[in-house]
Amino acid sequence: MFRKTKKNASPLADILKAGNGEVTRDEILQYELLEGNGPKGAPKGDPIMQVRDLHVSFATEAGVCRAVRGVNFDLWRGRTLGIVGESGSGKSVTALSLIGLLDDNAKVTGSIKMNGVELVGKTDEEMSVIRGEHIAMVFQDPLSALTPMFTIGDQIAEGLITHHPDMSKQAVHDRCIELLDLVGIPQPEERLNSFPHQFSGGMRQRVMIAIAIANNPDVIIADEPTTALDVTIQAQILDVLAKAQKETGAAVVLITHDLGVVAGAADDILVMYAGRPVERASIDDIFAKPSMPYTMGLLGAVPKPHVAASQRLVPIQGNPPSLVDIPAGCPFSPRCPLATPECSQAEPNLEVVDATNGHLASCRRLNEIVSKNMKYTDVFPVPEMLPAKWAEVPRDQRPVTLEVEHLVKTFPLTGGGMFRRTIGRVSAVDDVTFKIRQGETLALVGESGSGKSTTLMEIMNLMKPEDGRIVVLGHDLATLKGRGDRKALRKDLQIIFQDPMSSLDPRMTVYDVLAEPLKVHKWDKEKINHRIGELMELVGLNPDYVDRFPTQFSGGQRQRISIARALATDPKVLLLDEPIASLDVSIQAGVINLLEDLQAKLKISYLFVAHDLAVIRQISDRVAVMYLGQVVELGETEDVFTHPRHPYTQALLSAIPVPDPVVERTRSRIILKGDLPSPAEHHPGCRFASRCPVKLTLSPAQQQMCDGQRPTLRGDDQNQSEFACHFPLAVTAESAF
């Protein structure tokens, strides 16, 4: 369509277009051509892009940071290569070097050939001819990736005009509308004149994809395109990305740390660790037969949303090495349970695991792993579950530690002008009800803007709520008198925040951080010292480290310090606000296990706020699903995951990417239309009605009920769950997962 009419302005683009088509025929390509265990079979034809022996290093103050050390791969049109790794594994740097957007101080060696044309060593001006026309990229954070001062239309048009200055205004306009339509933005004609801040995150990421595919590129790089988005929006964006690939026929490089995302979207996988590829195979092989211990560990550490939490997660000990000072030998050996002293002698290269399927892995003990057919449970010992002290007492007989009933919190909406009049109210929390008993974990799930954090803050405030009731350990907050009462209660109610970096004062030593809550409660020095030693042991940190500063610890260790601080006063209830969202997969598992152990030892109740449903299935006993400030479903975790009663819960569950390509391919997904409506709008009826897929199947009279009458939490005799829906889903023999 569009591609036929365009003319290339520059000779370089002509070369690329015509392409001398010179394909490097080497051993690497030979194995890649065998990768057939995926939905698209083995790659056919010539690759569009070839990367050979790519090295990238940066000069930093600490020394030379070798971010990428010898990466090889080919890209074919219409295929998706997933690059998986934790932060610091070099995956983003690899991507940025393909498109020539690295910082000036980056030193790139090796070869990146696009259609036979070498890209390494090209100047910024030369690369700018190729960027946007032949290679495009979608970035992680859609909120900051668009220029706030320009309209969406201008920003899409810019990419078109830069490469095709002879396009007529009308043609540019039409193409912009076509693109917005393609990525699923309603009323594209009017939206062209909108500014980025008028769009939600998901919509902005759609615009970003529209910009990327504007010139029908040959290669699209997507760097964590859904990490910053909610799970239902993530499903939409992955859908749009697949559509964009179909439309342009481009090769896609999908970079992510989320194994669920690659399972559904990629054909081939490259696992990176410390700047090197450690395993590569087609998608099914990686998940079915991981052969490098790191890959095994990564797969074992991921909580699985589609199976009940029957066993504990397997954390990988230790932390990834610093790229400035990579140890000799295999960089994974310090964390590897299979490592022998020889492993730290020389770094292994990618070797053949399965020659017929092109499966490669780099491990010195690969032969052993393959011949013994080792699974991750053989490599990583599964930690024992600690017996819970209260397990014999049935749930009903355990005391209720935290009770919230019909909680409401609104914020005033002020107008402009001198006097900032209140012109409306935003209901951040509107009818939240749940109960937590001793030693129990309740997960509060919902998309951003659903009121999870506001609920936590209302509880932490220990003030009389605007409406409804909060009872903490038997004390109704409305009856608390004065600061003394609150302070006493606060000892039993502690909170852990999402980002351990910003929630720990960088100028305080760990000792001071841990001693602060105790000093507030007037402990004497000797008792404090003793308690701090105890706390450090409890969270698995060396007590000798108390005089260090938070910056000297890794992310996982910092979160352990946060946990220790929260536990200092021996609380009965712990509120956790996305405590593991900022941690890498291999570190996450350790923190989840720690939280489980602490609960078993200390009988604490957790109120666990998270958006990652897989983590929730792993850790929680009960789930409260929130939508626009209201709890729409409340029940036992297993009931909710297997037989959701509220249509929103069902949609939420179906949107989770499952880290298993076989399951992922056969699942049907309910993709919700649009975004979360603004909480400032007033909904007389069900808040979910505007996006509800079930409502569309109802009779007009029933639909009227949805629009006009607010449903409240109720149960029925089909299962134990409570739901706020007039027409709940029936419990069938079939499980939702």
Partner 1 sequence: MLKFIAKRLANYVVMLFVAVSFTYFMASAFMHPRSVYESRTPRPPQDSIERTLDLANLNDRTPVLERYWNWLTAIVTRWDWGKSPTLESVNSAIAPRVLASTELVTLSTVLSIVLGVALGIYTAQRQYKWQDRMFMVTGTLFMVIPSAVLALLIVLMAIAVNDTVGFRMFYVTGLSSYTGDDIGLRLLDFLQHIILPTISLTLLGMVGYHLTQRTYLLDELHADYVRTARMKGLTRRQAVRRHALRASLIPTGVNVAFSIASVFTGAVITESIFAINGLGRYFITAINQSDINASVAIAAFGGVCTLTGALLADIFSAWLDPRIKMS
Closest approach of partner 1 to the CB of residue 470, in Å: 34
Query: Tokens in use for 694?
Result: 């079930």
Q: Is 162 in the site for partner 1 (CB under 8 A)?
A: yes
User: Within 13 Å of residue 316, how many CA atoms lie on the same side as its CB?
Assistant: 25
Containing 144, the helix (H) or strand (E) segment is: helix 142-145
CB-nearer residue toward partner 1: 146 or 563: 146
Question: Nearest CA to 82 among 219, 266, 223?
Answer: 266
Distance CA 517, CA 126 (A): 58
Q: What is the DSSP letter of 131?
A: B
User: Within 13 Å of residue 609, how many CA atoms lie on the same side as its CB?
Assistant: 23
Q: Is 706 in the site for partner 1 (CB under 8 A)?
A: no
Closest approach of partner 1 to the CB of residue 468, in Å: 32
CB-nearer residue toward partner 1: 131 or 617: 131
Containing 705, the helix (H) or strand (E) segment is: helix 700-708
Window 82-121: residues binding partner 1 (CB under 8 A): 99, 101
CB-nearer residue toward partner 1: 163 or 452: 163
Q: Is 736 in the site for partner 1 (CB under 8 A)?
A: no
CB-nearer residue toward partner 1: 129 or 255: 129
CB-nearer residue toward partner 1: 134 or 645: 134
Please work out the total of residues on this chain that contact partner 1, with binding judged by CB under 8 A: 36
Closest approach of partner 1 to the CB of residue 390, in Å: 49
Query: Tokens in use for 408?
Result: 């409401």
User: Within 13 Å of residue 515, how many CA atoms lie on the same side as its CB?
Assistant: 15
CB-nearer residue toward partner 1: 133 or 660: 133
Distance CA 339, CA 240 (A): 43
Closest approach of partner 1 to the CB of residue 129, in Å: 7
Closest approach of partner 1 to the CB of residue 153, in Å: 13
Q: Which of 48, 81, 146, 301 binds partner 1 (CB under 8 A)?
A: 146
Query: Tokens in use for 477?
Result: 């907050």
Q: Is 417 in the site for partner 1 (CB under 8 A)?
A: yes
Window 205-224: residues binding partner 1 (CB under 8 A): 208, 211-212, 214-215
Question: What binding mask, one character per residue, do residues 344-383 give for partner 1 by CB under 8 A, x or -?
Answer: ----------------------------------------
Window 611-670: residues binding partner 1 (CB under 8 A): none
Other CB atoms within a 10 A radius of the CB of residue 209 amount to: 25
Give, in degrees to the nearest 5, the angle at Cα 499 between 321 and 201.
Answer: 105
Closest approach of partner 1 to the CB of residue 568, in Å: 39
Distance CA 238, CA 258 (A): 13
Closest approach of partner 1 to the CB of residue 101, in Å: 6
Q: Is 203 in the site for partner 1 (CB under 8 A)?
A: no
Q: Which of 31, 73, 76, 139 binds partner 1 (CB under 8 A)?
A: 139
Strand order in the sheet with 475-476: 422-437, 400-414, 467-472, 475-476
Look at residue 305 and give its three-state secondary structure. coil
Q: Is 555 in the site for partner 1 (CB under 8 A)?
A: no
Report the 3 state secondary structure along 52-102: EEEEEEEEECCEEEEEEEEEEEEECCCCEEEEECCCCCCHHHHHHHHHCCC
CB-nearer residue toward partner 1: 101 or 508: 101
Distance CA 559, CA 550 (A): 10
Q: Is 195 in the site for partner 1 (CB under 8 A)?
A: yes
Q: Is 131 in the site for partner 1 (CB under 8 A)?
A: yes
Closest approach of partner 1 to the CB of residue 130, in Å: 8
Residue-by-residue DSSP string for 631-657: EEEEEEHHHHHHS--SHHHHHHHHHSP
The residue type at 366: L
Q: How far is CA 300 from the centre of its chain?
A: 17
Q: Which of 158, 178, 499, 516 binds partner 1 (CB under 8 A)?
A: 158
Q: Which residues bind partner 1 (CB under 8 A)?
A: 99, 101, 124-125, 128-133, 136-137, 139, 141, 144-151, 158-159, 162-163, 195, 197, 208, 211-212, 214-215, 416-418
